[in-house]
Structure 1
Amino acid sequence: MTVIIRKRRPTAPGEILIESILRPRGISISRFAEAVGCSRKHMSDIVNGKVRVEGNMAARIGKVLGTSAQVWINLQAAVDGFEAERAMRRWKPRMTFPPMDQAA
């Protein structure tokens, strides 16, 4: 099993949303927030990486943009995984177990 260690934080879903979708199309955060049914502040917090894109919001964004919710969930999961691994760098487990393909 190969473990990939990321050195760079994955791009957050909000950053992709603003840089690759909203800004190039001239869609304001307010207008997009209205389309997905949330406040401008909440959408601004998503775009600025202050709040996570949860399942319900991922589904709304997907429906408005014609993508799946899974796209936005996966983007958020990549950021979450990176942050979790970074937070655990100094933590040492009390014991470890071999991977399943090496057991027995």
Structure 2
Amino acid sequence: MIERFWRDHRDQGFEIVSISVDDPADKIAAWMQDKGYAFMAAPTNASLAAAFGNVATVPTSCIVDREGRIRHKIAGQVHYPRLEQRIVPLLQSGRAEEPR
């Protein structure tokens, strides 16, 4: 579902970066390839942990705006309608602010 949302909205500037809290890069890459996911994925590090705070529930999704501010933090699964509700307004407001 996240892959589908990404494919549907990436032309509007939406990106996904999946961060694993416990797997090394090679295992993440194999899992992403096995699932057919094309968005970015990486292992965590100290600076990521500091930037996104304590992640007590896996998965946790952080929605970051174009200025790098965390706008929403969602613990647990997210579904397409919830992503639309949280992200589409950010994409639309970002488009209005871009220079023509």
**TM-score of the aligned structures, taking structure 1 as reference length:** 0.26
- Whichever structure has more helix as a proportion of its residues is 1
**TM-score of the aligned structures, taking structure 2 as reference length:** 0.27
Q: Which one has a bigger Cα radius of gyration?
A: 1
